[in-house]
């Protein structure tokens, strides 16, 4: 007599293999989510740097009489310049010449506003800006309106600085990121 018993249900080994495959899949999904969040932060920083560069380009075009002054302003100290703008009822702007407006514009873009002024702070607070460089395409800035300017915003990338996959030397090499915009002269018709 041949008695064959039919197996019904799953064995413990099959259940363990299924749980292992499921766990590996979930770990992959969590890694994907982490990478997505980091990339979102990097995109946010690039957008903020581009916003700062565009803001400065707009300010330069609005103040064509001081185009060459923008290239000679040092933003490293962040010392408060003459307030050439009226930000509300509690502050009174001063009438400024074109060069003073250029200094104020560079300060406002590079250093931002403090919370005590009642002005929303700009991207500098969340973006680690290390430099804003304005250079002339041909190397020398002349007072004519035909100079082509390059506006560069240099910042430290939070994505690279927090990376555990790079050694310290590689992080130092790739941490500094920049956004550049070429500013062509505007011609009056």
Tell me: the pLDDT tens digits for 138-181?
A: 777 765 556 788 888 888 777 666 666 767 777 777 777 788 88
Pair 157, 42: CB distance under 8 Å: yes
Give the integer Cα–Cα distance in Å for 36 and 30: 10
Q: Looking at the predicted structure, is the pLDDT value of residue 87 above 70?
A: no
* Structure tokens belonging to residue 40: 């979102």
pLDDT band, residue 91 (cuts 50/70/90) = low
Q: Looking at the predicted structure, is the pLDDT value of residue 128 above 80?
A: no
In sign, the C-alpha dihedral spanning 6, 11, 17, 23 is positive
Give the integer Cα–Cα distance in Å for 68 and 64: 9
* Structure tokens belonging to residue 27: 């770990």
pLDDT band, residue 99 (cuts 50/70/90) = confident
Map out the domains of the chain as residue ranges: 13-183
In sign, the C-alpha dihedral spanning 92, 104, 143, 149 is negative
Q: What percent of the chain has pLDDT over 70?
A: 70
Give the integer Cα–Cα distance in Å for 132 and 105: 12
Residue 96: C-alpha distances to residues 84, 91, 93, 148, 162 (Å)? 6, 15, 9, 25, 43
The predicted structure's pLDDT at residue 22: 96
If you average pLDDT over every residue of the chain, what do you get?
75
Question: Poorest-confidence range of 2-6, 20-24, 129-133?
Answer: 2-6
The predicted structure's pLDDT at residue 185: 66
pLDDT band, residue 24 (cuts 50/70/90) = very high
Phi, psi values for residue 155, rounded to 5°: -145, 160
More confident of the two residues 153 and 188: 153
Predicted TM-score of the model (pTM): 0.67
Say whether 152 sits in a helix, a strand or coil.
Answer: strand
């Amino acid at each position: 007599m041949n008695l064959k018993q039919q197996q019904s249900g799953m064995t413990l080994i099959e259940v363990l293999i299924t749980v292992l495959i499921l766990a590996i899949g979930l770990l992959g999904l969590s890694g994907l989510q982490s990478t997505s969040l980091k990339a979102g932060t990097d995109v946010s920083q690039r957008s903020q740097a581009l916003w700062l560069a565009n803001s400065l380009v707009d300010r330069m075009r609005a103040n064509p009489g001081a185009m060459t002054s923008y290239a000679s302003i040092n933003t490293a100290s962040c010392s408060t310049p003459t307030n050439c703008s009226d930000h509300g009822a509690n502050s009174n702007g001063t009438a400024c010449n074109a060069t003073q407006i250029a200094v104020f514009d560079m300060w406002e873009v590079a250093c931002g506003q403090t919370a005590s002024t009642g002005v929303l702070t700009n991207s500098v607070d969340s973006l680690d800006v290390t430099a804003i460089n304005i250079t002339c395409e041909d190397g020398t800035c002349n007072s004519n309106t035909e100079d082509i300017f390059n506006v560069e915003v240099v910042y430290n990338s939070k994505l690279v600085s927090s990376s555990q996959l790079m050694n310290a030397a590689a992080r130092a090499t790739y941490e500094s990121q920049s956004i550049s915009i070429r500013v062509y002269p505007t011609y009056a018709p």
